[in-house]
Amino acid sequence: MRILVVEDDDTKRSELVTFLSETYDVIVESARSFQGGLRALLAEPPDLILLDMTMRNFDRSLTDDGGRPHPFAGREILRQMHRNRIDTPVLVVTQFDRFGEEHDFTTLAQLKEELGQKYPNYIGAIQFKGNVDDWKPAIKSILGSRVPVRGAS
């Protein structure tokens, strides 16, 4: 089973990849931006995606900062997946509980409801806090039996 983690924050991406690799019997790949994630899943859709909501448009490099953060990049990836008939299950993993600015502001609760209504492949959203490990059992709870556990026979 292949899991794609689409996350622009290096620390959060590393923690997610480590957790998934140590907990589940999977191959974990990652993408570091909106464009990188979209390219990866269109080229070869994985079996599961862990998707950040707010991320940079392009991969950062020594000469490029990756562009301005896009507050709804994850929602746009879900829209593109729907448009291209890619039904890979998606779990949103975000550090924020509020998104956008005054004219397009939304809360995590509102976003969960919207994504659940629009995208059949959306399986849930959790809030990631680097200083608290409650995101780990939340991921385990949502993934349930979808993903083979490491060491289970």
Using one digit for the tens of pLDDT, what is the confidence trace for 15-62? Answer: 999 999 999 999 999 999 999 999 999 999 999 999 999 998 856 655
pLDDT recorded at residue 153? 59
Give the least confident one: 2-11, 49-58, 79-88. Answer: 49-58
Q: Which string of DSSP letters, residue by residue, matches 10-79? A: HHHHHHHHHHHHHHBS-EEEEE-SHHHHHHHHHHS--SEEEE-SSEESS---SS----SEETTHHHHHHH
CATH 3.40.50.2300 fits 2-146, yes or no: yes
Q: pTM score, two decimals?
A: 0.91
Q: What are the residue ranges spanned by the domains of the chain?
A: 2-146
